[in-house]
Amino acid sequence: MINRKLNAVQLSGLIIGPILGSGIILLPPIIYDVAGDYAIFSWIIIMLINFFFAFLFGQLSIKFPGEAGVTQAVEVVFGKYIKYLTSFFLIGAVCFGPIAVLMTAAQFLQIDGFSTKWMAVLLMGITILILLLNVSFIGKIAFVLSSVSAILLFSGGLTSLIQYPKTDLFTTSFDFSTFGYSLLLLFWTIVGWEVIGNYSNEVKDVRKTIPKAIGFSALIITIVCLLVAASIQWSTIPTVSDGSQINVASILTPIFGGWTGWIMGIIAPGLCLSSIILFIGGTARLIRRLAEEGVLPKKLSYRTKTNIPLGGIIALSCFHVFVFVLIFFNWINATQIVAIADGFFISNVFVTMLAAIKLFKQKIVKMLIGMMLLVLFMFLSFSSPFILVSIAILTIFFVYKQIKFNAKQSCKDGEKNLLMVK
């Protein structure tokens, strides 16, 4: 039996930093630029969705613990091939998403002789080395990075609001289309809850630890996001004197002054690496489980004596190298990578929520899930035709396999019942 090592604090470290991730660095000024003074309401709505996601995937992780994560819930409702479908959606997202996050982190680390692309490759190497460490130690590292980043962002946002408040809070008009687009962009900030279940085999007392960790993490994430968004929107920091837009670095300037660049060089890479560690680590465990079930090559099931899913980590790293090659040849860019990852992430969550409708008995929960399905469908409709076609091909293939499997099982059951009658 696998030794369960993560406590609530360590699990929180694997949640807070990753979900804040690159989104809290890049999105606040972008959302303000898109939605104007009503941007704060976009953040409030997405944070309410964030709490719902935390509750939903937390409950599913408790009900269906194991390295396969919440895909097990999909298997119970729809069958094993639909579980494989959601698994490949998640694997597809993690084959691309971490590269965009690494490119974001690399922008805050400038070393002579290293371009942003090569810095991202270097950070990828560091991430792999961290992933080879004991999971409880990774949890401690992630918690330190998450705590430091959250405290610094909270302090900077609060100081900016208190010292340099805006007089007029609402001066722009409301536009429904731009408001809706801001919500679409903000979906990136709530990606991550669906991976928590993949770590449940390494958690102490799943029923107590997961609710504590998820409740605490959701609260901290909400406070930090809303405070940073409000400070971007409602602060008039004098250091931004050239008419340029306030960004996350700006709100740290009243406290850290000339040290702000160095501070951002810690926060941004720290949050980005935390995010990558969560996704690659969780997905590598999923790959190991699928390899054990014979869906993927058996060699990918290899894990070390300390339970590190080495086969899955190597497989994902090889694909990441391939994506970096595409980037170096300018055949793909960071925006396209994010679009691909988002399409697969949304598809994964969509199928999981379809299963959750049947699994949860409370009418209010069913209704909220139904509303979220409509929102996710709208989000998915904004994906590129290439992504939609890829998702459709995977869906048709695995649905066909499931229908075929169900028909075969029905025939077997019918024959068995016939023999019993005889």
Structural contact between residues 274 and 254, judged by C-beta atoms closer than 8 angstroms: no
What integer is the mean pLDDT of 255-268? 81
pLDDT of residue 419: 58
Read off the pLDDT of residues 79-137 as tens digits, 9 standing for 90 and up.
999 999 999 999 999 999 889 888 878 887 777 777 888 888 998 998 888 888 876 77
pLDDT of residue 1: 38
What integer is the mean pLDDT of 396-420? 80
DSSP annotation of 304: -
CA-CA-CA-CA torsion sign (325, 330, 334, 335)? negative
Read off the pLDDT of residues 332-379 as tens digits, 9 standing for 90 and up.
887 778 778 888 988 988 998 898 888 888 888 888 888 888 888 887
- At residue 367, what is the residue type? M
Of the ranges 24-33, 256-265, 295-304, 339-348, which is most confident?
A: 295-304
Using DSSP, how many helices (H) and how many strands (E) does the chain show?
15, 0
Of the ranges 7-11, 297-301, 375-379, which is most confident?
A: 297-301
Read off the pLDDT of residues 11-67 as tens digits, 9 standing for 90 and up.
887 778 778 877 787 788 888 888 888 889 989 988 988 888 888 888 888 888 776
pLDDT of residue 413: 65
Read off the pLDDT of residues 213-233 as tens digits, 9 standing for 90 and up.
888 889 989 999 999 999 988
Going by C-alpha positions, the residue among 72, 68, 75 that lies closest to residue 91 is: 68
| Mean of pLDDT over the chain | 83
How much of the chain is helix, strand and coil, in % rounded to 5?
Answer: 80, 0, 20
User: Helix or strand or coil: residue 171?
Assistant: coil
The region, left, alpha or beta by phi > 0 then psi within -120 to 50, assigned to residue 138 is alpha
- With 70 as the cut, is the pLDDT of residue 414 above it? no
The percentage of the chain sitting over the pLDDT mark of 70, rounded to a whole number, equals: 92
pTM for the model = 0.80
- With 60 as the cut, is the pLDDT of residue 242 above it? no
Read off the pLDDT of residues 199-214 as tens digits, 9 standing for 90 and up.
777 777 788 888 888 8
The percentage of the chain sitting over the pLDDT mark of 90, rounded to a whole number, equals: 16
Read off the pLDDT of residues 391-401 as tens digits, 9 standing for 90 and up.
999 999 999 99
DSSP annotation of 202: G
pLDDT of residue 68: 65
Radius of gyration for the chain, computed over Cα atoms and rounded to the nearest angstrom: 22
pLDDT of residue 27: 81
